[in-house]
Amino acid sequence: MALTTSDVQKIARLSRLHLSDEELNAVEIQLNNVFTMLEKMQAIPTEGVEPMRHPHEVALRLRDDVVSESNQRERYQEHAPLVQDGLYLVPKVID
């Protein structure tokens, strides 16, 4: 699929971009190069290829899910302007 100059003009107008004639030609070439690359990528046979979870073979180091810090809610909320039942109260900003 190749874009025409009028297609690029429509895209620029919808994007609220003002492009000079030189910029319009450059953008048309760049977009058509992107579409050409995508067409080449779609032509690659991928049947039987398992999707990758990550581009690198990485093993995540997992740790045990244990509590490592004590509850310090009261200490943190001492400096808050408004607190009720362990929750921070904030002023209403939207009706």
Residue 1, pLDDT > 80, answer no
Q: What is the pLDDT of residue 95?
A: 77
CATH number, domain of 37, equals 1.10.20
Determine phi and psi for 84, rounding to 5 degrees: -145, 130
Please tell me the distance from the alpha carbon of residue 27 to that of residue 8, in angstroms, as a whole number. 8
Predicted confidence (pLDDT) at residue 56 exceeds the cutoff of 90: no
Residue-range definition of the domain harbouring residue 37: 5-42
- Counted domains in the chain: 1
Is residue 51 a part of any domain in this protein? no
Specify the range with the lowest mean pLDDT, choosing from 9-18, 52-61, 79-88: 52-61
The mean pLDDT of 54-83, rounded to a whole number, is 89
User: CB under 8 Å to 15, separation ≥6 — which residues?
Assistant: none
